[in-house]
Structure 1
Amino acid sequence: MSYTRKATFAPQPSTVRGQAVHLGGDPKGANFLYTNGRAVIIRNLENPAIATEYSGHSAQATVARYAPSGYYIASGDVNGNIRVWDTTQAENILKTETKVFAGRVNDICWDHESKRIIAVGDGRERFGHAFTFDSASSVGEISGHSKVINACSIRQERPFRAVTCSDDMTVNFYHGVPYKFVKSITDHTRFVQCVRFSPNGSHFVSAGMDGKIFLYDGKEGNRVAELSAAPNSHTGGVFSVSWSPDSTQLLSSSADGTVKLYDVAAQQVVSTFSPSDAPGINDQQVGNLWQGQHLISLSLSGDINYFDRSVPGKPSRVVKGHQKAITAITFAEESKTLFTGSYDGRVHAWTDGRDGGLDIAGAGHTSQVSVLASSKGKIYSIGLDDITRCIDVQQQSYDAWTRSTGSQPKGLAVHGDVAVTSTIDQTLTVTKNGAQTGSLKVDYSPSVVAISRDGVELAVGSADDNKIRFYRITGGGLEVSAAPVAHVEGNRGPVTALSYSPDGQFLAAADSQRAVFVYETKTRTVKIHQWVFHTARVNSIVWSPDSLHAASGSLDTNVEVWSVANPMKHISIKGAHLESVNGVVFLDNDTIASAGQDSSIKIWSLKHF
């Protein structure tokens, strides 16, 4: 048995309100760079479904930049570490690691020779450092600021020049190499978020939360003009600016929810783009990139907006997805669509991943989505907002009805129009089409639930005595029998996942002690006890459509694919996700999708023995 990774639906860039996001571009123009969690994401501009990740950081990554040569990437994290790694091989071999200061790295810039790096951020003793990438030797001093430095830029030709900007409301200008402080520019009246040299080195610009954009001479650092004085300029703070490849135009992204295109020579706004008709907080534009013919801007929500210079107004394309950990996943067989829910309450629908995941329309969950379950063209969901909701698969929108679970929900199972939830107050509740038809108070802590394929039996896993209890669903699926008709107790830890096989013969039960047991449904005896290759809590267990295999995802970051016919043979997808694997589903007998704490979805092709 073997596997290959077929696709990666990457997470969106991490964003923080009030903080700029510095996107990186590939010198060849094919890819762009950003970070989410501990990962650096390398994503194709033309087809964002093509993505890879670098997972070498042990702390949250914050920024990444290609060297102009294209052979290396430098990435920084919240602990002040800069890792320089190879881009030419799949292993991304580490070249050097340097601790530049004791705090968050906000921006990184290479010189045009791909030899020297300036890194800036929030340190205790210093806010910036200039060094050679291969030996980490100092090549000057980044000084003159009294607060965190938000961005830096190096002139891409000789004579070497560098600029930095800071929360102390100044822009500092340096000569190099070695880099030394020359002067401090005090044109801004609020935090300065971004500075960028033009590709030809003739000018640089600064942008700040005062809504101002200033243009300066690239060699001497003298002020040339205030671009933001032009009519129709931004009305809010400016987070990010990017130059056109020919150094004649400038792209700016603002807290006012708009993206503007400036003609630098004419000092005029030539185009305005607005991703939303009524911009809210999540529509603030916090980062951008001009890469070849691609103009992109990043919303605070994580949406990546593509713009066409010839068509002002709305984005020509919007790539959506999760920014936070994916906590639930299910598959709608009839539409071949994946549905995923995340820690922040968002639910997305995925087909090919080319434009990311479609937002589900309507009022959704306000906190973590705990479970998603598919049945008859509907997706049922429960969340930590103590609400059960329903999504119409065809319309990809929430139904009008919602139902309170009364307390924090733990488990959800559906069959046809019938849904059963288990809650932390030791209650099992049955609903049909959103209306409650029965409930049962139990004397244990029900964790997870599953309904048999014929809809007449309910299996309930316990979080305290490790038992699985079975109940009859009677009255046309509208009531649960008052007492369990049987129970099994093979699992050695709290039951964390339950799944009936499609042919109805087996029930797979996973637990917190890394084991997966398979029980025969007729005899309620253990069929398989050898599925114990995980090393931590198992979060998910699902069956293939033909009932010959099962797949599980675990806190240990691995996905295991099991065989019923050969219980000791299995496929181990080690490190399937950077963090915990929170869910797995079969798309067909030979393909699975996994979702994890790293906010990504991965599609795996399997080759069974």
Structure 2
Amino acid sequence: MLCSLRTSDLDLDNRNLGTPLKPTQHQGKTGPATEDHPGPPDSVTPGQNPAIADIYTEHAHQVVVAKYAPSGFYIASGVINSVDIKQSRPYRLVTGSDDNCAAFFEGPPFKFKFTIGIYIYDGKTGEKVCALGGSKAHDGGIYAISWSPDSTQLLSASGDKTSKIWDINVNSVVNTFTMGSNVLDQQLGCLWQKDHLLSISLSGYINYLDKNNPSKPLRVIKPKCVAVGPGGYTVVVCIGQIVLLKDQRKCFSIDSPGYEPEVVAVHPGGETVAIGGADGNVRLYSILGTTLKDEGKLLEAKGPVTDLAYSHDGAFLAVCDASKVVTVFSIADGYSENNVFYGHHAKIVCLAWSPDNEHFASGGMDMMVYVWTLSDPETRVKIQDAHRLHHVSSLAWLDEHTLVTTSHDASVKEWTIAY
């Protein structure tokens, strides 16, 4: 059993370059040059075909931001937290970083002008307009801001567990949204998109804010995993909740199920739902019209369940867990244990069945991907360091011999599997 990787041909310049964020150009492709040894990557993707991308691995540390120059020919990137370029002349560039500072640059060529704090500045001249909220906009750290579509107001999110709308012209608070008193109610992100205002809590909740009633969000969503089945059914597992939808409308929910649901899969026949929990068990539910019925059957994994999937013919259920094991259950035999697969050296995070229903792939925190043979756990394909810079985040099969992997290294890879 063999595997090979199909990817674009990269011819990267390996010169020693020590100047951070210095754009270089190579054979018509653009990207940043920084430290002289490999690190996490940047990627450059042509807008016409996002399937084609060049990956640059010359940063010494994790890259958290990259920005195209207005000309489109250059990219600036680095370990700062944020960067933006004024898209009209005269061009200006602003960066923000973990040293609690933002820096203003004039150019091109871009040269440092001065360091700024949390203030409103004129985008053209860089002159200070005002300090938002005076000396204290929030009682905690401000983690995100988002402009209104007309650029007259600003939405901010803070660790003081509030989000605020600011009127920039008069430098005053229009609305304060208090999200709670728990540590998990800290607001870490926000977005103002047309008429919708959203904030994100430390708990993972996404809050739709109501300007007319700041004390209560319009709605709060907190999905963990979604599975779609035949007949228009969708099952969503959330923090402390299981939701059944029919034709995109909520029709049933189980609140406080007594365990923490993590992942969900719907049987191809559409009649059974399998939900994996943090307690290491898989529970089975039946879809009865617009309700879910607990079948009272527990399938034991070897650790907290991290993913599960039915084979395409519905004959088997594969379950992977944090204890580095994949367990396959036979549906025809009453969900009895069919086989157990060992090989990963760290938590398994994802799995996917091949269309042939005889093989399945698993990806783990150990940077490895295995392609397993259902009838023989010892017959397998091992893809070591499938993604060199980060573990695999998801898997999908295009056909019986083509596997696609994704990763937080910002790349998608296509593998040819030969049995």
Structure 1 residues 152-201: Cα deviation after superposition (integer angstroms, max 9, x where no partner)? xxxxxxxxxxxxxxx6xxxxxxxxxxxxxxxxxxxxxxx445674xxxxx
1:581 to 392, 402, 415: 392
User: Do the aligned partners of residues 364 and 6 (structure 1) sit closer, same or farther apart at CA in structure 2, a change above 3 Å counting?
Assistant: farther
| Structure 2: unaligned runs, 5 residues or longer | 11-19, 67-75, 84-96, 116-122, 128-148, 153-187, 209-217
1:52 to 46, 55, 64: 55
Aligned to 2:401: 590
Alpha-carbon distance, 1:606 to partner: 1.9
User: Do the aligned partners of residues 34 and 529 (structure 1) sit closer, same or farther apart at CA in structure 2, a change above 3 Å counting?
Assistant: farther
Alpha-carbon distance, 1:591 to partner: 1.9
Residue 469 (structure 1) aligned with residue 283 (structure 2): yes
Structure 1 residues 112-134: Cα deviation after superposition (integer angstroms, max 9, x where no partner)? xxxxxxxxxx9x9xxxxxxxxxx
Aligned partner letter, 2:402: T
Q: Greater Rg, structure 1 or structure 2?
A: 1
Aligned to 1:564: 374
Tell me the distance in 1 between the aligned counterparts of 2:401 and 2:303.
Answer: 30
Structure 1 residues 537-582: Cα deviation after superposition (integer angstroms, max 9, x where no partner)? 2211111222222122222222222222432222222222312322
Residue 551 (structure 1) aligned with residue 361 (structure 2): yes
Alpha-carbon distance, 1:472 to partner: 1.2
Q: Is the 8 A contact 2:59 2:78 kept in 1?
A: no
Alpha-carbon distance, 1:38 to partner: 4.3
| Count of equivalent residues | 301
Residue 235 (structure 1) aligned with residue 129 (structure 2): no
Aligned to 2:69: none
User: Do the aligned partners of residues 63 and 411 (structure 1) sit closer, same or farther apart at CA in structure 2, a change above 3 Å counting?
Assistant: closer
User: Do the aligned partners of residues 469 and 63 (structure 1) sit closer, same or farther apart at CA in structure 2, a change above 3 Å counting?
Assistant: closer
- Identity rate of aligned residues, in percent? 25
User: Do the aligned partners of residues 53 and 27 (structure 1) sit closer, same or farther apart at CA in structure 2, a change above 3 Å counting?
Assistant: closer
Tell me the distance in 1 between the aligned counterparts of 2:64 and 2:285.
Answer: 50
2:317 to 507, 525, 529: 507
Structure 1 residues 4-39: Cα deviation after superposition (integer angstroms, max 9, x where no partner)? 33237x9xxxxxxxxxx946223543443368x942
Q: Is the 8 A contact 2:346 2:365 kept in 1?
A: yes
Q: Is the 8 A contact 2:6 2:416 kept in 1?
A: no
Tell me the distance in 1 between the aligned counterparts of 2:263 and 2:65.
Answer: 39
User: Do the aligned partners of residues 537 and 236 (structure 1) sit closer, same or farther apart at CA in structure 2, a change above 3 Å counting?
Assistant: farther
Residue 479 (structure 1) aligned with residue 291 (structure 2): yes
Tell me the distance in 2 between the aligned counterparts of 1:575 and 1:5.
Answer: 12
Aligned partner letter, 1:2: L
Alpha-carbon distance, 1:433 to partner: 2.4
Tell me the distance in 2 between the aligned counterparts of 1:549 and 1:580.
Answer: 21
Q: Is the 8 A contact 2:21 2:32 kept in 1?
A: no
Task: Indicate the SS of the match to 1:504.
Answer: coil
Q: Which moved more, 1:545-554 or 1:21-30?
A: 21-30
Aligned to 2:262: 447
Q: Is the 8 A contact 1:429 1:440 kept in 2?
A: yes
Q: Is the 8 A contact 1:496 1:510 kept in 2?
A: yes
Tell me the distance in 2 between the aligned counterparts of 1:237 and 1:498.
Answer: 53
What is the RMSD of the two structures over their aligned residues, measured on CA atoms? 4.5
User: Do the aligned partners of residues 522 and 44 (structure 1) sit closer, same or farther apart at CA in structure 2, a change above 3 Å counting?
Assistant: closer
Aligned to 1:435: 249
Q: TM-score, normalised by structure 1?
A: 0.42
Alpha-carbon distance, 1:207 to partner: 7.1
Residue 542 (structure 1) aligned with residue 349 (structure 2): no
Aligned partner letter, 2:384: K
User: Do the aligned partners of residues 432 and 33 (structure 1) sit closer, same or farther apart at CA in structure 2, a change above 3 Å counting?
Assistant: same
Q: Is the 8 A contact 2:273 2:284 kept in 1?
A: yes
User: Do the aligned partners of residues 515 and 236 (structure 1) sit closer, same or farther apart at CA in structure 2, a change above 3 Å counting?
Assistant: farther
User: Do the aligned partners of residues 580 and 344 (structure 1) sit closer, same or farther apart at CA in structure 2, a change above 3 Å counting?
Assistant: farther
Tell me the distance in 2 between the aligned counterparts of 1:362 and 1:589.
Answer: 45
Tell me the distance in 1 between the aligned counterparts of 2:22 and 2:151.
Answer: 22
Aligned partner letter, 2:23: G
Alpha-carbon distance, 1:47 to partner: 7.2
User: Do the aligned partners of residues 24 and 436 (structure 1) sit closer, same or farther apart at CA in structure 2, a change above 3 Å counting?
Assistant: same
Alpha-carbon distance, 1:608 to partner: 2.2
Structure 1 residues 482-510: Cα deviation after superposition (integer angstroms, max 9, x where no partner)? x3242221x21111111011011110101
User: Do the aligned partners of residues 280 and 407 (structure 1) sit closer, same or farther apart at CA in structure 2, a change above 3 Å counting?
Assistant: closer
User: Do the aligned partners of residues 63 and 366 (structure 1) sit closer, same or farther apart at CA in structure 2, a change above 3 Å counting?
Assistant: closer
Tell me the distance in 1 between the aligned counterparts of 2:63 and 2:43.
Answer: 13
Tell me the distance in 1 between the aligned counterparts of 2:364 and 2:233.
Answer: 29
Residue 522 (structure 1) aligned with residue 323 (structure 2): no
Paired residues for 1:167-246 under 5 Å: 191-192=104-105, 196=109, 206=111, 208=113, 235-236=124-125
Tell me the distance in 2 between the aligned counterparts of 1:30 and 1:492.
Answer: 48
Q: Is the 8 A contact 1:3 1:604 kept in 2?
A: no
Q: Is the 8 A contact 1:194 1:208 kept in 2?
A: no
Aligned to 1:263: none
Paired residues for 1:391-430 under 5 Å: 408-416=222-230, 417-425=232-240, 427-430=241-244
Aligned to 2:308: 498
Aligned to 1:385: 206
Structure 1 residues 221-278: Cα deviation after superposition (integer angstroms, max 9, x where no partner)? xxxxxxxxxxxxx83559xxxxxxxxxxxxxxxxxxxxxxxxxxxxxxxxxxxxxxx8
Alpha-carbon distance, 1:52 to partner: 3.2
